[in-house]
Structure 1
Amino acid sequence: MTIQKEFVLRYRDNEHVRFQIPPRACEKKIAQLLTEQILAIKGVYSVHLYRSQNKLSIRFHSSICTFSELAKQLFQILTELESQGWFESQKQLVLPKPGRSKLKQRLKSTRISRWFGEKYQAAKETFQAVKIVGKLTTKGPRALIRDPEKATIDFLNDILVLYLIKAHWTRITQEWLVRPFVYRYEWLATFYMFFLLVRSRRKK
């Protein structure tokens, strides 16, 4: 999962935004670098990164820097830091063992290996989400025994919603949130989808 998808907008005011950020962005050196680069954005006058709470607070002058411009520059900063390897885990930074290291590096650098790596990571994330959704929707074996048809339909509905969110996540964070009025029909469709999902859960 790219680092941009792990920055979740939790609060937005006229000149103040808060994000829930991943733990790997809260390491001391990364947090300091990220804070400095965000403060360098024209119009931003306050940045607080709460490492223990995994939260990022940004205050800015809307007359100088709009929310749309702030979001674009923030995403650009994250993209550059990620390309430089700042968000890689310590396990990934361990030096390879001698011997077959060159062959392994060549295999990892091929397009086929990168493609399989991306598909494996996506499948892993989806499988983990499916397990969570399954626990939330079926409410254990009792629901499945009591009404197997409804439990199965609820589970499949949640999987569909999960897939749609995952497929459109980049557009949601980079376009829909930035220009909600332009994408008002997309938001209406999203809200209606959640309305149908909640309505299907109501006990008859």
Structure 2
Amino acid sequence: MYLTALFTLVVFGLTGDYLLNINPIKKYSLLLIGTFFLGLVVTMNIYRKDSRQNKYLKQKVASYWADVISQFLVALIVNIFSGVMIFIFSLILNQNVKMDMVGILTLIGVGLLGSGIATLFKMQWGRYTTLGQIGVLVFIYLALSGSVVNVLSYVEWLLPPLSKAVVALQNKPSITQLLPITGQIFLYALVLFVISSLVYYKKKKS
């Protein structure tokens, strides 16, 4: 499932500008959104299988925190691989090292953001199915509309900064200028992982 979704984004990166007659910046914006959903869906699929078969992330780790770290590392490694592959085959890669690094890091960041949301609401594969699903849908909406819907502009700093990156690209077509937003994306994703680890730790103790 992961490789199929990744290959789909890679193919779009190779052909998107010709198929849709769009410039590299617009194609990269679409790849950001696609990578976000890739991280989200793949991580949810891992938790779904883990809840049923108990052999993907939980393994036989006795320590809760070792389990948490393993989950984060799996998400990080998957998204690093995805971000690098998608950017390389997007045909945006050039001799500007800074732009290439920011482009790759931003893709990794939005993928990790999706994984963080999936981790926060992994309860959907347990006793709180409906609550988890609603939570994922709400966060997807907030991630895509935070910088688009005027009402949300007042609390934009609280929202997943995916749309912030996309809107910034439309206002100023330069991948390099995404560096500060990329830092915010990584920080937001990390906060989601930390919050989820504390929430499920309390649930496990109770």
Structures share fold, TM-score greater than 0.5: no
TM-score, structure 2 as length reference: 0.36
User: Which is greater in Rg?
Assistant: 1
Structure ranking higher in strand proportion = 1
Structure ranking higher in helix proportion = 2
Structure ranking higher on relative contact order (CA contacts 8 Å, 6+ apart): 2
